[in-house]
A = this chain, B = another copy of it.
Amino acid sequence: MSRRIAILGGTGPAGMGLALRWARAGEAVVIGSRSAERAQEAAAKIRERAGAGANIKGDTNAVACAASDLVVMTVPFEGQAAFLKELKASFQPNAILVDATVPLAASVGGRATRTLGVWQGSAAQQAAELVPKGVRVVAAFHNASAELMNGDEPVECDVLVCSDDPEATKVVVELAAKIPGIRGIDAGRLENARIIEEITALLIGLNIRHKGHSGIRITGLPANAYRPL
């Protein structure tokens, strides 16, 4: 594949987990960070785990963003808006921006088991308002445990993918399915992100209550709703 996936704000657990899994799946990945040096250190760690053949590097968020038409953003909600405003000039015209932001109340000193109301309906819809026209925002990867993503086992979780661009949804559904254990499911329009984001708060509550690393599976759909089948 000639594409390179940029994972912005990618040195945290969520970004590192995605980078590790995609590097192992043979995808070319660039981790973005404020500091190119930190991003390169993170990339080196991934290479150590994914093998010397892993196609991964690190750079600043702006450079990583400009170099890729498939950009994933894993930043805390409190940083999301400023982050997107700063990167506005860096996006390729028709880039796909995958947003995994969850508006946890922890962002303002509250609990990670609760969410904040976002005026636009969801963090993903806020992102859609902030990106340049033409950039297609896709919400995904909210519910997969970062702990498990950073491990070596298959991840027992479905990734619900939503956006207002069916082609972009398809790309991300297939990208999700490259992670062992994960199935990608088209969950409709971007507005549905509000529910998918909230599920994360519920799962965090279950993790605390029952001491686990929870995820979700959707049951009862025909086989062709799930990628891979």
A contacts, CB < 8 Å to B: 113-114, 145, 148, 156-157, 160, 185-188, 191-192, 194-196, 198-199, 201-203, 205-207, 209-222, 224-225
Contact = CB atoms under 8 A, between A and B. Distances in A.
Contact of A202 (B148, B187, B210): B187
Contacts of A192: 113, 202, 205
Given A195-B198, A206-B225, A225-B212, A145 B220 contact: yes
A10 to B, nearest CB: 23
A225 B202 contact: no
A219 B215 contact: yes
Contact of A210 (B157, B207, B222): B222
Contact of A201 (B195, B203, B211): B195
A192 to B, nearest CB: 6
A201 B206 CA distance: 21
A161 to B, nearest CB: 12
Nearest to A114: B191
A187 B216 CA distance: 14
A225 B210 contact: yes
Given A187-B205, A192-B205, A201-B195, A210 B219 contact: no
Contacts of A212: 220-222, 225
Contacts of A201: 195
